[in-house]
Amino acid sequence: GAVVSQHPSWVICKSGTSVKIECRSLDFQATTMFWYRQFPKQSLMLMATSNEGSKATYEQGVEKDKFLINHASLTLSTLTVTSAHPEDSSFYICSAQTLAVSGEQYFGPGTRLTVT
Amino acid sequence: DAKTTQPPSMDCAEGRAANLPCNHSTISGNEYVYWYRQIHSQGPQYIIHGLKNNETNEMASLIITEDRKSSTLILPHATLRDTAVYYCIVRVDGNDMRFGAGTRLTVKP
């Protein structure tokens, strides 16, 4: 149990276009999901916290108008990278938190974004 | 500011125990110690977590010192597939996970 999927697993897009990444909790409900970004040879950096039915909370330095997050249901959160540029090329990873008090988090397999 | 400190890299011989240390000297009473690992180009994989007592599961053992200022993750019989970056994280239940630099463990034949 506790599987989180991401789609697509990799995507290549042209500079200036927008890309949507989906994060789904397959066998549990998650009121909270988290989005991370990871550059090569670096650690995961938290970008934003996504709460079902409300606005996302962004970390300092993350542009909310560029990285649009929608958490429309208890099993789905989406991250849209708008007007993508080559510097947005990265590995994007989501995690979903269970409804249990302990709030275990399970991570998706990641999405590799390359902007040309 | 980093809440945990880990050595940047470690080597381990295949079949031997891998002992990965983590310092968390500023840990609060309600913060758990979590361990995740990340194999290249994959999402982090949960290993184990604990509060005060030592914990063991099918993957690993977690030893937390009595003062809770440090811990050690033990992989009892390391295999080549255990080569990964291991992250030690302290977290209050329900809060987000903040990743440090981790330890790159290389298991050698």
Find the mean pLDDT for residues A2-18: 96
Q: Which residues 6+ apart lie within 8 Å of A106 measured at CB?
A: A2, A3, A4, A25, A28, A95, A96, A98, B46
Pairing assessment for the beta strands A32-38 and A45-51 based on DSSP bridges: antiparallel
A43 with B36: Cβ contact below 8 A: no
pLDDT score at A45: 96
Q: What are phi and psi of A18, to 5 degrees?
A: -110, 150
| pLDDT for residue A54 is more than 70 | yes
Q: Is A102 on the interface with B (CB under 8 A)?
A: yes
For A80-115, what is each residue's pLDDT tens digit? 999 999 999 999 999 999 877 677 889 999 999 999
Q: Is A103 on the interface with B (CB under 8 A)?
A: yes
pLDDT score at A101: 64
Which chain B residue has its CA at the smallest distance from A44's CA?
Answer: B99
* Cβ atoms of A73 and A64 closer than 8 Å: no
Find the mean pLDDT for residues A70-75: 90
* Cβ atoms of A31 and A43 closer than 8 Å: no
Q: What is the CA radius of gyration of chain A?
A: 13
Mean pLDDT of chain A: 93
Cα separation of A43 and B2, whole Å?
A: 12
pLDDT score at A103: 75
| Residue of A7, A47, A107 to mutate, testing the B interface (most B Cβ within 10 Å of its Cβ) | A107
Residue with the larger pLDDT of the pair B61 and A52: B61
Which chain A residue has its CA at the smallest distance from B99's CA?
Answer: A44
User: CB burial class (10 A; 0-12, 13-18, 19+) of residue A87?
Assistant: exposed
Would you tell me how many other CB atoms lie within 10 Å of the CB of residue B101? 15
pLDDT score at A60: 95
Q: Which residues 6+ apart lie within 8 Å of A64 measured at CB?
A: A48, A56, A58
pLDDT score at B92: 86
pLDDT grade for A1, boundaries at 50, 70 and 90: low
pLDDT score at B1: 47
Which residues does chain B have with pLDDT short of 50?
1
Find the mean pLDDT for residues A37-59: 93
